[in-house]
């Protein structure tokens, strides 16, 4: 089915992000990795659905996002696309799909846009990838930036730690967002950044900021769905608020099912033909 038939009339576009920033209307983003959750979060009214490469850790229990592949991202994004009608769909470009050179970045990002029906891609990095971002924007591919804690650089950063705490690193981060804005990003994710720094960057810049562990001063927020639902219950960083305890629900429900099958209570007459 074509993208236009899947998208609803009031579908979110990248231009809305800028208008919402101007109107001080917060932007709500969340991850999804499949059609079912894509549909549910879209029906819940989020503005942006991100097919994050966090799926490599959340769904596949890999130690980092580094081993996620382009084919894996395309597979999941195609599924999410089938569930999402209103929200803007953004796909994470996996490690080494855009860093080698500009031609490869254009080809790989173009492939994601062609094969998934997404409206934008997300790339990690600041000034160092600004020229790649510019080239993508010039050929019509909207780009969401991502700075601060960039999980694909976890080994260079020495772990999953807050970025921009020292003056030099705060200056670099500020310059990175400016470079991404100039290159044409329609929004920038700020991950694990002190709240005061994120708020200052947000106030200085035209480009909308989407925070995760970056305090309330950003133009929007993003969380990993499985974390927010309490499904990924082994993960409990300070910034995360759990809005449900679904891991407990799953264990309880499946435990009851197992008990009833073993005890002969299921299936009963009501659930048999
Ligand atoms: O991969 C991901 O899910 C992300 C978000 C946490 C921003 O990049």
Q: Is 54 in the pocket of ligand 1 (CB under 6 A)?
A: yes
Residues of the chain above pLDDT 90, percent = 97
**pLDDT tens digits, 14-38:** 999 999 999 999 999 999 999 999 9
Closest residue by CA, ligand 1 atom 8: 52
Closest residue by CA, ligand 1 atom 4: 52
Q: With contact defined as beta carbons under 8 Å apart, do 147 and 188 qualify?
A: yes
Centroid of ligand 1 to alpha carbon of 166 (angstroms): 24
**pLDDT tens digits, 107-148:** 999 999 999 999 999 999 999 999 999 999 999 999 999 999
Nearest to 152 by CA among 108, 92, 209, 110: 92
Q: With contact defined as beta carbons under 8 Å apart, do 86 and 127 qualify?
A: no
What pLDDT is recorded for position 7?
74
* Cα 143 from Cα 108, distance rounded (Å): 13
Count CA atoms within 13 Å of residue 61 on its CB side: 2
Centroid of ligand 1 to alpha carbon of 91 (angstroms): 10
Closest residue by CA, ligand 1 atom 3: 52
Centroid of ligand 1 to alpha carbon of 103 (angstroms): 25
User: What single string gives the DSSP state of each residue in the chain?
Assistant: --HHHHS-TT---HHHHHHHHHTTPPEEEEE--SHHHHHHHHHTT-SEEEE-TTHHHHTT--SSSTT--HHHHHHHHHHHHHH-SSSEEEEEPPTTSSSS-HHHHHHHHHHHHHHH--SEEE--BSGGGHHHHHHHHHTT--EEEEEES-GGGHHHHTSS-----SHHHHHHHHHHHHHHHHHT-SEEEEES--HHHHHHHHHH-SS-EEEESS-TTSSEEEE-HHHHTTSSTT---TT---S--HHHHHHHHHHHHHHHHHHT-SS-GGG--
Q: Is 212 in the pocket of ligand 1 (CB under 6 A)?
A: yes
Centroid of ligand 1 to alpha carbon of 39 (angstroms): 19
Give one word for 150, left, alpha or beta, with left for phi > 0 and alpha for psi -120 to 50. Answer: beta
Sign of dihedral through CA atoms 169, 173, 174, 175? positive
Q: Is 189 in the pocket of ligand 1 (CB under 6 A)?
A: yes
* Average pLDDT of the chain, as a whole number: 97
Q: How far is CA 214 from CA 29, 36, 55, 220, in A?
A: 14, 29, 21, 10
* Catalytic residue annotation: 191
Nearest to 57 by CA among 216, 252, 189, 237: 237
Residues in the chain: 273
Residue 81 pLDDT exceeds 90: yes
pTM of the model: 0.96
Ligand 1 closest atom vs CA 53: 1
Q: Is 55 in the pocket of ligand 1 (CB under 6 A)?
A: no
What pLDDT is recorded for position 93?
99
Residue 5 pLDDT exceeds 80: no
Joined together, the tokens standing for residue 203 give: 């106030």
Q: Is 222 in the pocket of ligand 1 (CB under 6 A)?
A: yes
Q: With contact defined as beta carbons under 8 Å apart, do 193 and 213 qualify?
A: yes
Q: Is 53 in the pocket of ligand 1 (CB under 6 A)?
A: yes
* Cα 200 from Cα 221, distance rounded (Å): 16
Q: Is 92 in the pocket of ligand 1 (CB under 6 A)?
A: yes
Cα 201 to the center of its chain, rounded Å: 20
State the pLDDT confidence band at 1, using cuts at 50, 70 and 90: very low
What pLDDT is recorded for position 2?
45
What pLDDT is recorded for position 139?
98
Closest residue by CA, ligand 1 atom 5: 52
Q: Which domains does the chain have, with CATH numbers?
A: 3-242 (3.20.20.60)
* Cα 174 from Cα 204, distance rounded (Å): 9
Nearest to 211 by CA among 244, 232, 241: 241
Centroid of ligand 1 to alpha carbon of 53 (angstroms): 6
């Amino acid at each position: 089915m074509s993208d236009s038939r899947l998208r609803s009339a009031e579908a979110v576009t990248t231009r809305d992000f800028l208008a919402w920033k101007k109107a001080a209307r917060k932007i709500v983003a969340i991850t999804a990795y499949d059609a079912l959750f894509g549909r549910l979060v879209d029906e819940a009214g989020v503005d942006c659905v991100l097919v994050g490469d966090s799926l490599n850790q959340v769904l596949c229990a890999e130690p980092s996002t580094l081993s996620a592949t382009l084919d894996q991202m395309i597979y999941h994004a195609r599924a999410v696309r089938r569930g999402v009608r209103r929200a803007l769909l953004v796909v994470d470009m996996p490690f080494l799909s855009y860093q080698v050179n500009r031609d490869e970045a254009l080809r790989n990002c173009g492939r994601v846009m062609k094969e998934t029906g997404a409206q934008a891609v997300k790339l990690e990095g600041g000034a160092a990838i600004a020229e790649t971002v510019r080239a993508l924007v010039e050929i019509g591919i909207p780009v969401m930036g991502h700075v601060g804690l960039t999980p694909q650089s976890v080994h260079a950063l020495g772990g999953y730690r807050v970025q921009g705490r020292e003056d030099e690193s705060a200056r670099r981060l500020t310059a990175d967002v400016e470079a991404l804005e100039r290159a044409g990003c329609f929004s920038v994710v700020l991950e694990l950044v002190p709240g005061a720094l994120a708020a200052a960057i947000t106030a200085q810049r035209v480009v909308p900021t989407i925070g995760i562990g970056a305090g309330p001063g950003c133009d929007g927020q993003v969380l990993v769905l499985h974390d927010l639902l309490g499904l990924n219950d082994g993960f409990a960083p300070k910034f995360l608020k759990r809005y449900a305890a679904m891991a407990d629900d799953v264990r309880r429900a499946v435990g009851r099912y197992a008990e009833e099958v073993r005890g002969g209570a299921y299936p009963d007459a009501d659930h048999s033909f």
